[in-house]
Amino acid sequence: MTRRSRPLRVRTGRAYPFDFVVDLGQRNAEFVRRPLTPLKRVWAAGDALAPIVDFDYDLIHSVNAVPLLARRPYVITFEDYLPRVPEDRYNRRLEAWLRTKLVSDQCRGIVAMSEYALRQFRWQNRDAPELSKLERKLRLVYPGIEVEDLPPKQLGQTIKVLFVGAAFMAKGGPAVLRAHRALRQANVPVVTTVVSELQWSPDHYVGPASRQYVERELELLETEGVVHLRRLPNAGVRRLMREADVLAVPTLTDTFGYVALEALAQGTPVLASSTCAQPEIIDDGESGFLLPFENEAQVGKWTWLYRTADPAYLEAYETAIACLADALTGRLMCVWEDPALYTNLSHGALAKARSRFDRVRIREQLEGLYSEAAGA
């Protein structure tokens, strides 16, 4: 079989995740980056499907959305559910139809972002007759990021905590504010920066439905030493990550967590809930700390996801936030009292980013996948 005389033209998307899991500068590809899921403009749940009309490209590389209409071969990277259906709500017929698309010869590779994604995929499709065929297409390719040649950090006269997350309540923002208050009360000189649009909806699948509860928690944004920024360009967020001592991610759910990856690449230790893919990103006690969390056994995610209508949900949410706040306070206190530990954690953060998420190595994995997909 002859080698291709030109790079593959790969049709892909423009959204934030594509910079981590698709367009890493593959040398055997040139990317055509356009919106993959224009349905989202008229239907918020339309990111599960990608209606792509064929133009001058050789391969499609989508994220989460199963390509429709197109006749070109495709590779699909996913973060948890696949096939994904609108709003991740179970739809037997739609899932079964989309699985036929994944089993077809047109689908040349199914790429999980994490071991967590693999577990979710296998649990979701455990009774599907096509599972063995799907398994043969599965592979694990972590997101990739460039890691600069930086020295480990050292603590200064204050401990600077950073939280980044638009969905404040779902990402455990109240735990960060409570930990900040506790440290202040213990006379620890802490400054906490919150970058969040404070998104919240009473019908979201995670987070309290009570507006009164939310408003009470948001009052802590007025605590001395808390800086709140509603939004910031990505370059500004990365600058804050470099300046921060730790990134706090006490999330109740996070299918991957690019923000943690970006922090590690800046030498910033991450303190995150031990849920979903976070244990694959953070080595407890080496590149940050994992905060104890109540997960279900099969996949490793919070037991209360999609259960907001349960009368006991608000109590479960409050219990989770309280436990995360206590754990976060304790770990931050340990870091503050042991500067040498902090420097070791910063060194470990850089090492973890290089060993598992190195952009060049991930790029080479994708180059091999593209060659296989195109039959080159």
Secondary structure of the chain as H, E, C letters: CCCCCCCEEEEECCCCCHHHHCCCCCCCEEEEECCCCHHHHCCCCHHHEEECCCCCCCEEEEECCEEECCCCCEEEEECCCCCCCHHHCCCHHHHHHHHHHHHCCCEEEEEECCHHHHHHHHHHCCCCCCHHHHHHHEEECCCCECCCCCCCCCCCCCEEEEEECCCCCCCCHHHHHHHHHHHHHCCCCEEEEEECCCCCCCCCCCCCCCHHHHHHHHHHHHCCCEEEECCCCHHHHHHHHHHCCEEEECCCCCCCCHHHHHHHHCCCCEEEECCCCHHHHCCECCCEEEECCCECCCCCCECCCCCCCCCCHHHHHHHHHHHHHHHHHHHHHHHHHCHHHHHHHHHHHHHHHHHHHEHHHHHHHHHHHHHHHHCC
User: pLDDT at residue 40 above 90?
Assistant: no
pLDDT of residue 92: 85
Mean pLDDT (whole number) for 120-140: 96
- pLDDT tens readout for residues 301-319: 999 999 999 999 999 999 9
Give residue 1's pLDDT band: very low, low, confident or very high (50, 70, 90).
very low
Confidence of residue 342 (pLDDT cuts 50, 70, 90): very high
Q: Is the pLDDT of residue 151 over 90?
A: yes
pTM of the model: 0.92
**Least trusted range by pLDDT, from 46-60, 271-285, 312-326, 339-353:** 46-60
Domains annotated on the chain, with CATH = 8-144+358-374 (3.40.50), 159-357 (3.40.50.2000)
Q: Cα(322)–Cα(318) distance, rounded to whole angstroms?
A: 6
Q: Where does the pLDDT of residue 53 fall: very low under 50, low under 70, confident under 90, or very high at 90 and above?
A: low
Question: Tell me, what's the pLDDT at 43?
Answer: 47
The conformation of residue 45, written as its DSSP 8-state character, comes to T
**What's the pLDDT at 203?**
87
224-253 pLDDT, tens per residue? Answer: 999 999 999 999 999 999 999 999 999 999
Confidence of residue 52 (pLDDT cuts 50, 70, 90): low
Please report which confidence band the pLDDT of residue 299 belongs to, taking 50, 70 and 90 as the band edges: very high
Whether residue 41 has pLDDT greater than 50: no
Q: Is the peptide bond before 83 cis (omega within 30 degrees of 0)?
A: yes
Interval 172-184 mean pLDDT: 98
Helix (H, G, I), strand (E, B) or coil at 8: strand
Per the CB < 8 A criterion, the answer to whether 81 and 255 are in contact is no
Percent of the chain with pLDDT over 90: 83
The mean pLDDT of the chain is 92
Report whether pLDDT(48) > 70: no
What band does 15 get if pLDDT is binned at 50, 70 and 90? confident
Q: Which two tokens stand for residue 126?
A: 């455990």
CB 174 within 8 A of CB 217: yes
**pLDDT tens for each residue of 68-125:** 888 889 999 999 999 988 766 677 899 999 999 999 999 999 999 999 999 999 999 9
Kindly state the percentage of the chain with pLDDT values over 70: 93
Structure confidence at residue 38 as a pLDDT band (50, 70, 90) = low
User: What confidence tier does 352 reach under pLDDT thresholds 50, 70, 90?
Assistant: very high
Exposed, middle or buried: residue 235 (CB in 10 Å: 0-12, 13-18, 19+)? exposed
